[in-house]
Every structure is written in structure tokens, then in C-alpha cells.
Structure 1
Amino acid sequence: MLMYKQKKSQAAGIRLLISITVIGSAGPIRFVVNEEELVASVMDTALKTYAREGRLPVLGSNINEFVLYCPIAGTEALGPLEAIGSFGVRNFMLCKKPQAVIEVGEDRKSAAVGITRKNGGSWKSWFNKSINLKVSSH
């Protein structure tokens, strides 16, 4: 009697080949993830892969300093607790959060704070400008 190998169950979820472009880097990072994997986990994997490959510029490994975008879905950053497969796309963009320096207290110590304003100097306008520079009109 022949024994057949049992197929793996679908409980593991669907696996996706995703591509993450890092602003300022030579090319995208590609790796396979489960569609239920969280955005924060994907960002962590992307940063580790980026460092392992010795890419420039050096980014660091703190995922709190970065945001992941889906260029097709708009200019809103993806939430770190969302599933990566819930967006229906496979191409993403990883950007460093812009930092503003403010002086704090009488000692004039400087502290870095994320930019959250919605006017001309916001991170959204910076993101839109960086995308518009890369898109050539024919």
C-alpha cells in the first residue's frame, strides 16, 4: 500500500512575495511573508534584511523611526498592527520619519519630535514631493 504525503493545511495562511523600496536606496528589498503578518513585523524584517545586505544609507533597526506606505493606496502611513495582506498590494515604500528639533526648558536642551502638523511643512507634503520627483511625465 502506498503512503501519500499529506498536504500542508491552509492554516499557515497565504504567503506573499512583497517588495519594499527604501527611499535613497539602490533597489527594492524582496522577501516572502504570510498575509496575516503585522506591518511592524514586516518593517522589522525589512530593516534587518537591509542591514544584512550592507545597503546604504545606513538606517538603523528601530522600527519606531520608520513608516511604511502603500504608494497605490495614498499618502497615509500603514498602521503597525494591521495585517500586511489586508491592503491587496505587494509593493510598499519604507521611509524614515521626519524629525523636527525644538528647544526645551531653560537649559536649551534640544529634543527630537515627529512632525505631525498638517500644513506645508508636514511629512505628508514631504512624501508627496519625493514621489513627484521620481515620477516622470511623458
Structure 2
Amino acid sequence: MLLQKPKKNNQSGKGNRLLVTINVLGSAGPLRFVVNEEELVAAVIDTALKSYAREGRLPVLGSDLNNFLLYCANAGGDALSPLDAIGSRGRRNFVLCKKQKPQQESRSVGGRIQVGDGKSSPTEMRKGNGSWKSWLNKSISLKIYSH
């Protein structure tokens, strides 16, 4: 006679668990770990940064979760709010990006160097480093011919 363990009730306040995949720009491969679907995006970013550092991955990112944004990988749009639940969008694949710091212009006027206030026109912003989406589009658009 086999004894079966009683199944745990999933409604004990823990919620559903998700296996999330987080791609970090510039890293060799994705991070994968299990989270509760009610866990905040900020906590998931923190867990991802700690896991990334523990594995000794490069480039070194730092540990301040306020310097990073989490995007849904398969959906366009804005970054997830740090106060949203990770399971609120129904997605499991994400991209972790470092926030872009405003660039200051420096120019020489009359022999003196003036530093701008970081405000740029939209055309100047398009010429800058760009986002992960533009990088991804450029990478995908490269065609490899076999002959």
C-alpha cells in the first residue's frame, strides 16, 4: 500500500509560481529563476542583480536596482513599473536594461567651456546610444548569406 502525501493547497497566500527568464543586455545568456506571481517587479530586479553577481557574469552591473528597468521581451512598450506584480502582464520573458543617464553637452564659447543642462532635441536623442529595442532591430536586420 502506497502512502500519498497530501497536496498543498495553492491558496495558502503564496500564489502561483513562475519560471521567469531575464535577458541582460551585454551578457552571454539569460538568468532563470522561480518567483511568485505577486512578487513586485523591484524585488525581481533585485533578485536578478544578485544572481547575476553571484554567478560572476560580465559586464559588472552593480547592485542598485533603481538604476535598471525591466521590459517584457515579447511586447513593445514601456518598462514595467517597480510597484507592479511580476505576473500582472502574463509574461515570463523579460529584458533587463540599465537606465540611460542624461548626457551633458560641453562646448567651447569664447575660450570657456560651457556644460549644457542635459536637454536635447528629439533628433539629437535619436543619434545617441539608443535603446535595447533599436539594438535588437539592428542585430536582427543583419542578414547572413551562406554563399
- Aligned equivalent of 2:39, options 37, 40, 49: 37
Q: For structure 2, which runs of at least 5 residues remain unmatched after alignment?
A: 106-112
Q: Deviations over 1:74-94 (max 9, x none)?
A: 131100011111111111000
Aligned counterpart, 2:135: 130
Alpha carbons of structure 1 residues 136 and 50: separation in structure 2 relative to 1, 3 Å? same
What is the CA-CA distance between 1:127 and the residue it aligns to? 3.0
Aligned counterpart, 2:24: 22
SS at 1:10's partner residue?
coil
What is the CA-CA distance between 1:72 and the residue it aligns to? 1.8
Q: Distance in 2 between matches of 1:101 and 1:133?
A: 23
Aligned counterpart, 1:60: 62
Alpha-carbon RMSD: 3.1
Matches within 5 A, 1:1-138: 5-11=5-11, 12-102=14-104, 119-120=122-123, 121=125, 125-136=130-141
> Which structure's CA Rg is the greater one?
2
Q: Deviations over 1:91-137 (max 9, x none)?
A: 1000000112448xxxx9x8xx8x8x7934169x5233112123246
Contact kept in structure 2, 1:13 and 1:34, CA below 8 Å: yes
SS at 1:131's partner residue?
helix
TM-score (norm 2): 0.74
Q: Which amino acid aligns with 1:37?
A: E
Alpha carbons of structure 1 residues 54 and 118: separation in structure 2 relative to 1, 3 Å? farther
Alpha carbons of structure 1 residues 84 and 44: separation in structure 2 relative to 1, 3 Å? same
